Structure 1
Amino acid sequence: MFLRIASAWILLGLIIAPSSYGMQNSATTGTLAGTIRDVSGAVVPGVMVTARSVTTNQTRRASSGDDGSYRFVALPVGNYELRIEVPGFDPYVNPTLTINLGRTILLDITLNPAGVTQIVTVTDQPPPIDPTATATTTTIDPERIEELPVNSRNYLEFTLLAPGVAPSNPQSTAGARGQAGSPLADSGFTFGGLRPRSNSIAIDGLDNTDETTGSARVALSPEIVREFQIINNGISAESGGAAGGAINVVTKTGTNDFHGDAFVFAQNEIFNARESVTAKAGVGRPLFHRYQPGFSLGGPIQHDRLFFYVAAEQEHLLADSAADISRSARERINGALASALAPSLPVRSLQTERFRIGADETEAAGKMTYLAGRHTVNSRFAFTNSRLRGEAFNTEELNDISSRGTSYTKDYQLTASDMMVVSPGLINEIRFQASTRRALSNGGDRLGPEVDIVGIARLGRPYDGDTARRENRVQVLDNIIIERGHHELKAGITVNHVQLLSEMRDGFGGLFIFRTVDDFLAARAAEWRQAFGTAGTQFSTTSFGAFVQDRYQPIGSLTLNLGARYDIERLPQSFRTDYRNISPRIGLAWNPSSPWVLRTGFGLYYDRIPLAFLNRAIQKDGSRAFEQVASDEVASSIFSTIGGHVASPFSTFAPSIFRADPAFVTPYSAQANASVERLISKDVTARADYLFTRGIHLLRTRNINLVPPLSSLDGRVVFGPGRIDPRFDAIYRLDSSAASTYHGLTLSLNKRLSDEFELLASYTLSKVIDDASDFDEQPRNPYNLRAERALSRQDVRNRLVVNGLFDLPIGEDENDGGKSQTEQDLLTKVFGHIEAAPIFTFSSGRPVNVLTGTDDERSRAYPLASRPLGLGRNTLRTPRSINVDLRIVKFFPYGGPRRLDFTAEAFNLLNHPNIVAVNAFYGSGLTS
């Protein structure tokens, strides 16, 4: 059982200037548009409109057309003042406009005749509904990032607040490898039931995805994140390289005012509920110490021209953990090891008590912004240094400390961009990044082999946990926006070159699988496998993308988004490069009346290939490296005679290799959506969405060297020793023959921040079916792929998420400055200046693939694929989960703009036992 425990945090925050930020850059911008009329309702053409950033004084101007419409495209996110001065009319000023990421703000303006008033000042915000949007999106605004509770301060966890998004199944990624999961981390999120490796994560419009695994790359402190947008269906033609969803992050920019924070978070075991596995493994409360100090600072270097923003924080964790290996099994295994069973095994005893795990991480980033006439130039450098000890991977509770992973990761990223406003209707932007990631990982045992007593214990060097790699990336893109009448044309190109230098030593330490403890004591191995040869590889991929898109409004109430994209990913020589990747994108939004918007859309979305998938065919091609596999008596003989790491391959064993499918094509998805949204009040919207996603040509692995199987007496399909190509034992073909289907309905209610209250509630009803949930999942019978079609491990049938921000209605607003404390009564002193931010999550259980723990079909599948007779794929489910997180802030204003914060956070406040992974092995091993 994996149990989320309740905890409390203490935050000390020092704010030394008002909180206001500027923003930047295209794919990370918003739009402001509307129509200008006089008091009679007639449109007013030729009016010059000025939008001024209140934080940097940067200005943009646009003129209303013959129909009175005006439009600012690619407007940097932030707070603006809108001003109109035209002869014959009173001046118009709206000083409180907020431009949000990826949204179109519609603001219609009525001008009064001159002399009615000296100046017309309007402070109302435009309606929160966007009648021109055709995609399914959610924006995580600055208030949510700053106020909502988040464990370990990873802002990307807020992605799970969006409707239609679910966390990736832990038994599909870093979970038990016998359940076809990979220890390679993924993005952590699934959109449309697609694989978590198929998502796009971008910061300031540039890729931030680890191309080897599909996870996020450089980590940022939340202090430098302005806001981000989650797009889970209907992505425009501008975005490519992901079949799933997209997460677009924009960072803060310095302003004309200095602003900074200094803070420290502390968490201690005295606040924690007792986690059952670790608590019962020793005496007293398990140790848990976490400290996270940090700071941020932004401001002007030269007013109205040059700005900076920097943020950095660290995490230091020291905690107790334990393995959930039964006492009887542990004693029997330790007794056998002590009596010289398999003397060549490096691990001579299982850990009997708690053991220490830890983490040390530094995240730092700095950004410079230069405003020079028509140019907005940004540059950013980000750095992450992370070391995880004993908790990097293989942390499931049947793993001894010798199998648990330690990792070291270093990320460097340098980016630059220039957005040039050639004219109000012509904008060009160019972006560049150079980045590198170095990742090392290893288990507690560095020699091997791994010993896996299925469903009971795992010890020794992990089969796939010894890796050293460096990933280098260079990316350049250029986009142009042209606005002509009712058309907004956008086109662009991008080049993304990624180089991988790696030693992924999967299997080079060896692996012995045992059905039961009795079999281990008797040295009766069910399977042995080990890789031999050279682990090092070096190769690169280059992606080219080009797109064109037209946003067209034939009438004011109808918006069409029409686009197409062409992508090529040049793969290493052993893989076929697919040149047919043309993806149309179509979206429609209809605003029949002011409170209603109807939307629909369709598009194709081509994926990029994880480099870890490519590496298998390049590395274990039979000449560079290969595997050898043995079963039952032969495997037992190897364990009895060698009992450890095998130094050289056996000359009598045929090698097993990996090979790319000669007909390999690029995976992609077909996505469609239909939605209706209604404006309930000036700050509240309600929305219903139907989402469809079809995953096509998804990646999988299967053994194509088996002769057709026979049926055993019990009805199980069993493969004989014959091989199609007798030179090899197994030929694991890496192909693109898998598929998935997702149907989802989401209902959401959103109240934007007003009157110190903000709310987002969403419910998702969905179903996902697939025939492989990750690229290394193999079928039980390669001749019957249809039998693998079942519920996907990414299926989450019901999911409800509610989050909110509110102030207790006592005392001053946090932005009101500072009455003297003597002016407040006792009630205000105690209960004033308190903010609360809860997150409630309910989720159905996840499918689990029940396995026997051995290769009963003799298909040579690994990860293992054999299921008990009569059970289909993914037929078991984990229990439902219920979670409540809460953050309470009490702040004390002092010294003008300064304030002191004390914060308490609780995670899983109700201490509900949320089981996210189970022991999926069924058979005699569990009873021995």
Structure 2
Amino acid sequence: MFQKRLLSTIATLSLLMSASAISVRAQSVTTGAIAGTVTDNNGNPVESAQIQVRNGRTGTTAGALSRSTGQYSVQGMEPDDQYSITVRRIGFQPITRNNLRVALGQTDREDFQLSPQTNLLSAVKVTGEADAVINPTKTGTGTQFNDSALHRLPTLNRNFSDFVTLVPQVSSNTAGLSGGGVNIRQNAVQIDGAAAGDLFGLGTTGQPGSQANAKSIPLDAVKEYQVLLSPFDVRQGNFGGLLINAVTKSGTNEFHGSAYGYERGQNLTRKQTYLREFYQRNYGFAFGGPIIKNRLFFFVNPEWQKYHTPTSGPFTGQPACAAGGTSTDCLYIAQSSIDAVSNILSTKFGFNGAGTGAKILQSNPLTNVFARIDAYLPFSTRAILRHNYATADLTNFGRSFNTSASPVFNLTSNQYQFSSKTNSSVAEFFTNLPRGVYNELSVNFTNTHDFRTVGVNFPQLDIKGIPRTDVTTPATIRLGTENSSQGNTLDQRTLEVTENLTLPIGSHNITVGAKNLTYKFINLFGQNRLGYWFFNSIDSLNGTCATCGGQSLASEYRTSAPSALDPAKGLATARSHLYSFYAQDLWTVTPRFTFAYGVRVDKPKFLDKPPFNQSVYDVYGRSTGNVPSHALVSPRFGFNWDATGDQRNQFRGGLGYFTGVPPFVYLSNAFGNSGLSGYAALTCANTTNATHTPAFNADNIATPPTACADFTSGGVTTKGATTALSSSINTIDPKFRFPQYQKWNAAYDHRFPSGLVSTIEGLYTRAIANPFYSNLALAGIQAAGAHGRVLYGTQTASGASPVFKGNRTTVLDVSDTHGDYTYSITGQLQKTFFDRFQSSLSYTFSHSKDIATITSSTAGSNFRFQRDVSGSLDDRTLTKSKNDFPHKIVATGSWHFHTLTDVSFIYTGNSGSPYDYVVGTGTGTGSGDLNGDGQTANDLIYVPIDAHDPNEILFTGFNGNAAAQASAAAQADAFEKFIKQTPCLRNHRGVIMSRNACRNPWQNDVDVSVAQSLRGFGKQNLQLRLDVLNFGNLVNRKWGEQLFSNQGSTCGANCSATILVTQTGNKLGSSPQQAVPIVTFDTNLRRFSGLNASSNYRMQLSLRYSF
């Protein structure tokens, strides 16, 4: 099927090649170009001058003739810094320029003035100087990283995308990288012009297998890359945030290569409990050269990683956490609690695989193999054939520290391994056709397989109410097969065919092109397939609680099962096309002013649709069979003005629309959760007569029940809800469009006589269409609660009870919203001293506001964590985004000394990430859900005017015995003190705090690398290198500390919320809807924690031999 589509697409696109024209000027998105004007001494254009460009590394040449206007262009040049160009014309003295650099995606401007040849003279030789900033084709916002920067600047992960954080307009938070404030999953990666991203969108780096820390290609295979935020070239598409556009290395006429090893471990970092037995080694080699000189070249680069480290959190064998203590190097639950749980499961249910509280070593081996062949074919064609193979395996496991308000202690049975394997093959052809026509054809096929491996097959159990040794707030023991790994595989296949044709008409240079992205995914996501059981205490598990009746009593049960009507047995499968067509004109209005304008159209077409569920449509008015189909038009305009004509003062800018591709996981939810396909979910939590939890016994462990328990009252039996009747549904709004953004850019660049280049640049991004999640099952607003909180349910003594329409609790719909915006103003200085010193300094001021910040990969988490709320769930008011980082400073420098010593550094300083405080859940039904929407840990906290006022807030134990009341009073005292010490809380007294009102402290980070080379025979070189990340912490342990609020225990990287208190119930009073929440506050809670690897210096040693 894929082969048929390939042939059909190529045949269709080849029709574009029937056009004819003369010369070319525009650069390619995967190569570079050299262009300029040839004149005589009087400034008159010289026609038919011969221009020959030679690559000194490969010996290959390309040529062109100047037109009647004197203009010329040489297209399709592989990025390199060893080009020479010679201009000849009968009657004129030849001129040669050497050491020219052609940068990726840029056109190097080289103008020539020829002198009459009155005597036989040798060619005049000039050394050229290229500039990636002062450049006639540069219009939008972007940053270039050349080979020198990639191999001199410090890095530990050896991932080519590590340096993206150095781009002034890019912000980094716990979820990933945001380009101009845009959703992290709107980034794209392309290598040699071919898409190399994670279209399904489970990870956060944009690279396939990123959930296992996979790398697309080895760092040594990357020649250079761009990070583009607003390229007004219409050939660049399928992204809304940032585009990483990389090119790989190739062989040359000389054999060259290297062998290297990088190593770091616990002895090369500050001593920390959680870094014991830490070890990482990366090693590999690169080798390239000629197969046939000047014609055929090869390059290969395999690389491997060995890695292991203890997973985060406490483990048995550590000392017990002391009451009132501040140490995190301790165990907060007793071994006897772990033993009791294990013994109950063993003796009562015959399960001996609960695991222990021992520490787990996390392993993360990686393998990358990159191979490339370059062939210079007849008919002025250059071909590239390359293949990339990447695998990654990652052990996933962790436990909460005692700093968490509701810590979870996982037993070892809860670990799993995430594995990913990617194969990607690309063929590209660059052809200079007769009369100057330039053509590019690219074919890319990628196959990625992700899967999980578990150690046991047993339902996941959460046993709450575990006594702690340090505070009264209980902990939770978790064991069994991790609930999202009970059935989880993903296969992705991508076929991408791109055709670009460039031709000139006078001073206009026209580019037309098309791209067809064919995508197929097969996804199995049987979350809770083996069951997920909750117990309020060890006694509840044992059947010895007061209401147990001698049987194990679960407070909640969750499961999922394939729909009986689904022939695919739970597999979600979809095929789609994304057709892109575009045309643009690069108009050289004058030699000093260029204007680019064009339009791009992106049209999705799904070959499969989710099945239509009539019952969902009848109750909720939404078809489950909707898929996006709207064509999106993206016009773009860009300009570049050399104001003084000497390439020293440049004004540039533009306006354009950019259409991204939504993570297909957003759309796969609809394929897998229609009620007729995929896995249907069920929750039994004793909230209604139809949702009582089934019995936890050996039979229900072996065969997870797909229905809640029947309930009999007054002689009337209510049948339990089933997966078929109450499963979660995902739908897509029929008006839903692919994400689209409008971007404005304006900049002024100035090059001083010393070569220092200064830039001031503004970038504005506005969302035209952004995803937004709603729950159609909610019956709507029910009442106004205390302090103005909007209620979607009723208040009970234990918490809130949502009010639903129909028999379903979850019908999650993804639709569009618009209006999100980000603006940034950047000042930057850059200086290159060719062989000794390179440096840059930038400062960026920015602000970002949005309606919701979506960072998760599942519909449920996106609805729950897209924003923390207190008002209407349909409110589209703009508030501070999770991607709001007002200030950012970046400085880099690299020195090369005569002693063959290289010293490089990176300094980044930025505002801390924003966050807010929410209420966590206790053991009661509906606790932690203040607004009754069925979601917990996302309701913004009301900040009392006085924490001692019982009409505003109550603390657990307020109505108990003397000891309990003393505990409540101590909590109130500590909470009042915490409010006074926390500005964002202090400023919200008497109201519900606003979203993302708080901010983590300013972050400073200095990274340094020192390399010493030993020159051998010929071009042989041996280099020893030391990289130090967080160098300040090496000098002083108090420097470089990275402080964060405890968001990780709330939602991982999915939100910006920190649990401040946990709700244990309500005091209803005369008006239940005005209930006063009863909460527990950890009197030892600290605002920020530096308990992370980034707070400590980390060093890496490496050895490299090259020739």
**Which TM-score tier does this pair reach, normalised by the shorter chain?**
0.7 to 0.9
Q: Does 1:890 align with 2:992?
A: no
| Alignment equivalent of 2:627, drawn from 566, 569, 576 | 576
User: Match for residue 683 of structure 2?
Assistant: 629
Instruction: State the shift of 1:305 in Å.
Output: 0.8
Contact 1:394-1:405 at 8 Å conserved across structures: no
For 1:146-295, what aligned pairs fall within 5 Å after superposition? 146-167=151-172, 169-170=173-174, 172=175, 188-213=176-201, 215-217=206-208, 219-275=216-272, 278=274, 286-295=276-285
Instruction: State the shift of 1:714 in Å.
Output: 6.2
User: Match for residue 340 of structure 1?
Assistant: 344
Further displaced range: 643-652 or 689-698: 643-652
User: Match for residue 846 of structure 2?
Assistant: 766
User: Match for residue 88 of structure 1?
Assistant: 91
Instruction: State the shift of 1:341 in Å.
Output: 8.3
| Alignment equivalent of 1:585, drawn from 618, 625, 636 | 636
Instruction: State the shift of 1:631 in Å.
Output: 4.6
Secondary structure of the 1:52 match is strand
Q: Does 1:464 align with 2:499?
A: no
User: Match for residue 720 of structure 2?
Assistant: 652
Further displaced range: 237-246 or 307-316: 237-246
| Separation of aligned partners in 2, 1:452 and 1:100 | 59
Q: Alpha carbons of 1:525 and 1:108: their partners in 2 closer, same or farther (altered >3 Å)?
A: farther
| Separation of aligned partners in 2, 1:601 and 1:372 | 38
Contact 1:878-1:918 at 8 Å conserved across structures: no
User: Match for residue 432 of structure 1?
Assistant: 443
Secondary structure of the 1:785 match is coil
Instruction: State the shift of 1:70 in Å.
Output: 2.0
Contact 2:102-2:130 at 8 Å conserved across structures: no
Q: TM-score scaled to structure 2, two decimals?
A: 0.73
Contact 2:628-2:734 at 8 Å conserved across structures: no
| Separation of aligned partners in 1, 2:871 and 2:685 | 19
Q: Does 1:638 align with 2:693?
A: yes
Deviations 1:648-688 (A, max 9, x none): 22252333322222332222111111111111235321111
Further displaced range: 67-76 or 720-729: 720-729
| Alignment equivalent of 2:996, drawn from 869, 874, 893 | 874
What RMSD in Å do the two structures reach over aligned CA positions?
3.2
| Separation of aligned partners in 2, 1:710 and 1:525 | 31
| Separation of aligned partners in 2, 1:203 and 1:330 | 52
| Separation of aligned partners in 2, 1:314 and 1:863 | 42
Instruction: State the shift of 1:867 in Å.
Output: 2.6
How many residue pairs are counted as aligned between the two chains? 858
Q: Does 1:844 align with 2:844?
A: no
| Separation of aligned partners in 2, 1:347 and 1:759 | 60
| Separation of aligned partners in 2, 1:859 and 1:74 | 60
Deviations 1:751-781 (A, max 9, x none): 2351321112222211111122116422647
Q: Alpha carbons of 1:789 and 1:866: their partners in 2 closer, same or farther (altered >3 Å)?
A: same
Q: Alpha carbons of 1:922 and 1:422: their partners in 2 closer, same or farther (altered >3 Å)?
A: same
User: Match for residue 576 of structure 2?
Assistant: 541
Structure 1 residue runs of 5 or longer lacking an equivalent are 1-24, 173-187, 280-285, 812-831
User: Match for residue 304 of structure 1?
Assistant: 294
Return the structure number with greater relative CO, CA threshold 8 A, min gap 6.
1
Further displaced range: 295-304 or 146-155: 146-155
| Alignment equivalent of 1:421, drawn from 425, 432, 443 | 432
Further displaced range: 129-138 or 735-744: 735-744
Further displaced range: 108-117 or 324-333: 324-333
Counterpart residue type for residue 299 of structure 1:
G
Q: Does 1:124 align with 2:121?
A: no
| Separation of aligned partners in 2, 1:455 and 1:536 | 39
Q: Alpha carbons of 1:448 and 1:493: their partners in 2 closer, same or farther (altered >3 Å)?
A: same
Counterpart residue type for residue 748 of structure 2:
V
Counterpart residue type for residue 519 of structure 2:
V
Counterpart residue type for residue 890 of structure 2:
V
Further displaced range: 148-157 or 738-747: 738-747
| Alignment equivalent of 1:899, drawn from 1015, 1018, 1021 | 1021
Instruction: State the shift of 1:154 in Å.
Output: 0.6
| Separation of aligned partners in 1, 2:257 and 2:266 | 30
Q: Alpha carbons of 1:769 and 1:335: their partners in 2 closer, same or farther (altered >3 Å)?
A: farther
Counterpart residue type for residue 496 of structure 1:
L
Deviations 1:413-446 (A, max 9, x none): 1110111100363111111011100111356665
Counterpart residue type for residue 638 of structure 1:
T
Secondary structure of the 2:185 match is helix
Instruction: State the shift of 1:566 in Å.
Output: 0.6
Q: Does 1:382 align with 2:388?
A: yes
Secondary structure of the 2:151 match is helix
Contact 2:604-2:631 at 8 Å conserved across structures: no
Q: Does 1:320 align with 2:339?
A: no
Contact 1:838-1:886 at 8 Å conserved across structures: yes
For 1:597-676, what aligned pairs fall within 5 Å after superposition? 597-624=650-677, 625-631=679-685, 638=693, 641=696, 646-650=704-708, 652-653=720-721, 654-676=726-748
Contact 2:28-2:75 at 8 Å conserved across structures: no
| Separation of aligned partners in 2, 1:347 and 1:399 | 18
Instruction: State the shift of 1:116 in Å.
Output: 8.1
User: Match for residue 888 of structure 2?
Assistant: 799
Q: Alpha carbons of 1:131 and 1:895: their partners in 2 closer, same or farther (altered >3 Å)?
A: same
Contact 1:703-1:859 at 8 Å conserved across structures: no
| Alignment equivalent of 1:927, drawn from 1079, 1082, 1097 | 1082
Max Rg structure: 2
User: Match for residue 918 of structure 1?
Assistant: 1046
| Separation of aligned partners in 2, 1:515 and 1:548 | 63
Q: Alpha carbons of 1:329 and 1:519: their partners in 2 closer, same or farther (altered >3 Å)?
A: farther
| Separation of aligned partners in 1, 2:553 and 2:1001 | 35
| Separation of aligned partners in 1, 2:730 and 2:654 | 40
Instruction: State the shift of 1:782 in Å.
Output: 8.8
Instruction: State the shift of 1:35 in Å.
Output: 2.2
Q: Does 1:731 align with 2:808?
A: no
Secondary structure of the 1:337 match is helix
Q: Does 1:497 align with 2:518?
A: yes
Instruction: State the shift of 1:455 in Å.
Output: 10
| Separation of aligned partners in 1, 2:916 and 2:485 | 22
Structure with more helix by fraction: 2
User: Match for residue 532 of structure 1?
Assistant: 561
Further displaced range: 426-435 or 461-470: 461-470
Deviations 1:307-332 (A, max 9, x none): 10100110001222331586334658
Q: TM-score scaled to structure 1, two decimals?
A: 0.86
Q: Alpha carbons of 1:455 and 1:137: their partners in 2 closer, same or farther (altered >3 Å)?
A: farther
Q: Does 1:683 align with 2:821?
A: no
Secondary structure of the 1:28 match is coil
| Separation of aligned partners in 2, 1:846 and 1:894 | 48
Contact 2:298-2:371 at 8 Å conserved across structures: yes
| Separation of aligned partners in 1, 2:455 and 2:773 | 29
| Separation of aligned partners in 2, 1:346 and 1:312 | 44
Q: Alpha carbons of 1:84 and 1:406: their partners in 2 closer, same or farther (altered >3 Å)?
A: same
Deviations 1:476-531 (A, max 9, x none): 11110112331111111111111111212234355567899999997998865433
Instruction: State the shift of 1:864 in Å.
Output: 4.7
Instruction: State the shift of 1:96 in Å.
Output: 0.9
Q: Alpha carbons of 1:570 and 1:263: their partners in 2 closer, same or farther (altered >3 Å)?
A: same
| Separation of aligned partners in 2, 1:546 and 1:399 | 53
Further displaced range: 345-354 or 797-806: 345-354
Percent sequence identity is 21
Contact 1:886-1:909 at 8 Å conserved across structures: yes
| Separation of aligned partners in 1, 2:352 and 2:842 | 49
Further displaced range: 651-660 or 698-707: 651-660
| Separation of aligned partners in 2, 1:885 and 1:516 | 48
Q: Does 1:53 align with 2:59?
A: no
| Separation of aligned partners in 1, 2:55 and 2:366 | 35
Counterpart residue type for residue 425 of structure 1:
G
